[in-house]
Amino acid sequence: MSQVSYAIQDLNSTINQFESNVDVHVNNIRQSSINVEQATKEIYDQISKFREDMEHGEQSQLAHENIIRIDQIIKEQFSNYETIRRTVMGVVRDFDINLVRNSTIQELSEELWMTSSRYWLSYALIAITAWVNNYPDVAKSALAEGGRKDAIKTTLFFTLFNLRFDRTEVAKKWFYEYLKTLDPTMLQQESAVMLHAFLDGIFGKDRELEQAVVDVIDQWISIINEDAAICEELVASYETYLANINPHKSFDYVSILQYCVNSAEMSKSYLEVSKYDTILQLLKELDVDAVEQNDSNYKERVDAVLINLMSNFDEEERELRNEQEYFNLIVRNDGVVEKAEAQYEAEMALQNEHFNIGKQMISWAIYDETANSRVRKFAFQNTKEWFKTALDKFAIRIEQEFPIEYSLAIDTWTGTSNGNDQAELTENMKNYYETNKFQNMFVNSLNIVAAIIIIASIALAFVTPYSLVATAVAGIFLGYRCYKAIKEYPKRVEAALNALIQTLTEIGDFRQYFEDNSKKKDAVLSETEFI
């Protein structure tokens, strides 16, 4: 057998022996791999968050641009509608002071009709001016055509118009026509205007008319209270609202995010319980004092209701406004499209062309920030029992989802905390670092590679003496790393202990935050009772 063969044989023997030794430390190597994977995950999470922030910022910018774009489209396509609205109110108010000639008003109304003949209000304007100028046939034709364009708005408009000028008997006839258009289980948006008028005391000048309105509203509320399916829908609608609330809070517990394996669960609980502040703010917005009702401001109140009615957009205009609202939601949710879409879907589910009074009241109460505050308050008052049911379900759910154990991974140590065991975990970590001192200091990928090189180069010294150079280099490298590990080990242990203490402190703060904010449910219920 040649010298080379002997060398190879010896090398094989050495390698086999080394493999046996390596097997002893396989678990330690796996642990090192886990640490590498953890570090990689943290880097990946940071990169992912940066990317998400960039995407959210881009979505917010695009939403702003689309809001401006839709504004321009609305101005181009429906500017005449807005002109008609202003003109109608100008004509109504001119009847009080008679500054404009009737012939001038007639000419203007005809001109506006020519540009917006699809719009129901243009026919109402023609009818008003024809009535003033004593053209009964023209007025009758305009009223008929306006009714065909939008019967509900036309009848309600002339109810309010005649009330404004103390034409009570005529107003009652129009109102009874309006009632014929209503299906209590399939109401339209304009019913909010009627409710607005009622709450403003506009029907109060005539006891018979006011009682007719009261009967209608009582009928609506009776439908809510007696229909189990509607009750379930109401609770579900409020549940959806609570689920989609954006509390505008950030989970900023740095150590928890870095060292808690289940930090995502904790973040979710944090954001959910933070919603109570948002709910309280909504309820405070609903609890407002009503405008004093008296004869001196009667016409002013009627005018406000008329403007409200005319501002209930027609189908084409509403579609654009809804699209604009979608982009507004993206902005309000800081570019998080998923949240915006969920909220938008919930709003649209309540804004169908026809829907029951229960859903309409919820829409007024919690979604329609432009609605009159008295309408919103009234709507909430009559649906708050189902809100309270939804709130109870919400509170139970977030309590059940609250994490009571916290998985920790700090350096090479792992453990589980219940939030009240700092002393035990600190002692456990100290024992771990003392018991596993050797493997923590010396057993890692780089040291193992250096050892392999040393052994292999010694074995190859029988073949070439130059391999001893590699032995020397690897030995120096390994020796330096071992020396550094021994010197820095106490600092490493101290850093891990500090990280543990900081993490447990944050867990305590998180648990206290959840407990304190959970108690705000009682404040929400208390605020609810006084609305």
Confidence of residue 264 (pLDDT cuts 50, 70, 90): very high
8 Å CB contact between 170 and 208: no
Residue 352 pLDDT more than 60? no
The highest-confidence range among 48-57, 385-394, 464-473, by mean pLDDT, is: 385-394
Q: What is the mean pLDDT of residues 175-202?
A: 78
Confidence of residue 497 (pLDDT cuts 50, 70, 90): very high
Per-residue model confidence (pLDDT) at position 308:
82
Distance spanning both ends of the chain, measured CA to CA: 102
Per-residue model confidence (pLDDT) at position 13:
55
Please state, as a whole number, how many other Cβ atoms lie within 10 Å of the Cβ of residue 156: 25
The per-residue DSSP string of 323-345 comes to HHHHHHHHHHTTT-HHHHHHHHH
> Can you give the C-alpha Rg of the chain in angstroms?
37
Q: What is the mean pLDDT of residues 450-474?
A: 58
Residue 16 pLDDT more than 80? no
Per-residue model confidence (pLDDT) at position 29:
47
Per-residue model confidence (pLDDT) at position 481:
64
Range of lowest pLDDT (217-231, 284-298, 326-340, 492-506):
284-298
Dump pLDDT digits (tens) for 23-71. 444 445 445 554 555 666 666 667 777 777 788 888 889 998 999 998 8
Dump pLDDT digits (tens) for 302-326. 888 888 888 777 677 778 888 888 9
Dump pLDDT digits (tens) for 325-335. 899 998 888 88
Nearest-angstrom CA–CA distance, 378 and 374: 6
Task: Name the residue with higher pLDDT: 321 or 505.
Answer: 505
Per-residue model confidence (pLDDT) at position 321:
83
Residue 427 pLDDT more than 90? yes
Dump pLDDT digits (tens) for 139-165. 899 999 998 998 889 999 999 999 988
The highest-confidence range among 28-37, 297-306, 415-424, 464-473, by mean pLDDT, is: 415-424
Confidence of residue 343 (pLDDT cuts 50, 70, 90): confident
Range of lowest pLDDT (20-24, 402-406, 419-423, 481-485):
20-24
Range of lowest pLDDT (18-32, 112-126, 382-396):
18-32
Per-residue model confidence (pLDDT) at position 459:
57
Residue 466 pLDDT more than 60? no
Q: What is the mean pLDDT of residues 483-499?
A: 80
Task: Name the nearest CA neighbour of 277 among 531, 518, 512, 529.
Answer: 518
Tell me which H or E stretch contains 488: helix 467-518
Give the percent of the chain with pLDDT over 70: 78
> What are the b/e assignments for 280-315, b being 16+ CB within 10 Å?
bebbeebeeeebeeeeeebbebbbbbbebbbebbbe
Per-residue model confidence (pLDDT) at position 25:
46
Confidence of residue 279 (pLDDT cuts 50, 70, 90): very high
Q: What is the mean pLDDT of residues 208-217?
A: 84
Bridge partners (DSSP) of residue 407 are 416
Range of lowest pLDDT (29-43, 96-110, 127-141, 335-349):
29-43
Nearest-angstrom CA–CA distance, 401 and 399: 6
Q: What is the mean pLDDT of residues 501-512?
A: 96
The per-residue DSSP string of 231-296 comes to HHHHHHHHHHHHHH---------HHHHHHBTTHHHHHHHHHHHTHHHHHHHHHHHH--PPPPP-GG
Confidence of residue 404 (pLDDT cuts 50, 70, 90): very high
Place of tokens 């403003």: 200
Burial class (CB within 10 angstroms; exposed 0-12, middle 13-18, buried 19+) of 195: buried
Left (φ > 0), alpha (ψ -120 to 50) or beta: where does 411 sit? Answer: left
> What are the b/e assignments for 435-444, b being 16+ CB within 10 Å?
eeeebbbbbb
Task: Name the residue with higher pLDDT: 460 or 292.
Answer: 292
Nearest-angstrom CA–CA distance, 272 and 253: 16
The highest-confidence range among 7-16, 71-80, 91-100, 187-196, by mean pLDDT, is: 71-80
Nearest-angstrom CA–CA distance, 7 and 16: 14
- How many residues in total does the chain contain? 531
Nearest-angstrom CA–CA distance, 244 and 45: 25
8 Å CB contact between 447 and 481: yes
Dump pLDDT digits (tens) for 239-262. 999 999 999 899 999 999 999 999
Per-residue model confidence (pLDDT) at position 462:
57
Report the chain's mean pLDDT, rounded to a whole number.
Answer: 81
Per-residue model confidence (pLDDT) at position 113:
82
Per-residue model confidence (pLDDT) at position 40:
64
Q: What is the mean pLDDT of residues 379-395?
A: 93
Task: Name the residue with higher pLDDT: 296 or 257.
Answer: 257
Place of tokens 């886990």: 34
Confidence of residue 15 (pLDDT cuts 50, 70, 90): very low
